[in-house]
A and B are shown apart, each in its own frame.
Chain A
Amino acid sequence: MNKQEFLARLREGLSGLPQDDVAERLTFYGEIIDDRVEDGLSEEAAAAEIGPVDEIVSQTIAEIPLPKLVRERVRPKRPMRAWEIALLATGSPLWLSLLIAALAVLLSLYIVIWAVILSLWAVEASFAVCSLGGAAAGLWLVCRGGGLPGLCMISAGLVLAGLSVFLFFGCRETTKGALLLTGRLARGTKSLLIRKESAQ
């Protein structure tokens, strides 16, 4: 792949991004290839040293904030005609409600994921508090002469302490998983915007 082919593939991959961003990145990679060629490499070797275009595209999409991508997506590429504006205004009850619904679905997905995480940590915290409370109440009962109920309370406290230790690791891993999942969700949404733009 020579310089032109490399830049053409990169342009195609980044076509859904803001145009000023794309132009700046193409200039940057074009310069890097030229400098490598000046250093004695062929265009093909220079492009190969930079790495696969797909990787550059994925990394770039991950770096650009979602609101910036959405702004670029909804920005008209040319001045709108009067009938287009009229059609947009007339159809707004339909497309606006669909857009709000799509955003609400995305938002609810985020909320559901983090609500599960929050609930797990709440259970973990209640186990930890109950184990301490149980052990303390058990000791108090033993001191007050209630030997058997006191010992039962202490045992229950210890069982809860053990459970809270196990649950802590589970919560930690689940939180990590949720972070990964929300990251993928954001990347998926971005890729969707880019793909739709490229397909046009």
Chain B
Amino acid sequence: MDIQLKRGLLDVCVLAAIKNEDSYGYKIIKDMKPYVELSESTLYTILKRLEAADMLTVRSAEHGGRLRKYYRITGAGLKRIEDFRDEWQEIMSIYQFVTREDERHE
């Protein structure tokens, strides 16, 4: 898959993983695992990128006697997911057009 496309998809996946509730690194990886494999180093890069783009915020909270970082989606992050859904409708239309052309030649 094209690297830029994959990067964009993974960004949205991570945002989707924290859309409903604040989450932390390991849980994000676990939640995404049934859909897409993500290494810790890739997740770190994505989280930093999304934080720099103001799509999520980070806070530390105590958990079991240690500090754990929680990630919360922002308005910009939610908008990115909405934009992705709109873009995807367009991509799906193109996909349907492309596959319909294939069927005609079979």
Contacts and interface: CB of A to CB of B under 8 A. Distances in A.
**A interface, over-half SS:** helix
Contacts of B40: 28-29, 32, 50-51, 56
Interface in A7-34: 25, 27-29, 31-32, 34
Given A28-B25, A51-B40, A34 B66 contact: yes
A36 B41 contact: no
Contacts of B41: 51, 55-56, 59-60
A63 interface: yes
B85 interface: no
A32 B66 CA distance: 12
Contacts of A197: none
A123 B28 CA distance: 52
Interface in A52-70: 55-56, 59-60, 63
B24 A31 contact: yes
A63 B29 CA distance: 20
Given A51-B40, A60-B41, A31 B69 contact: yes
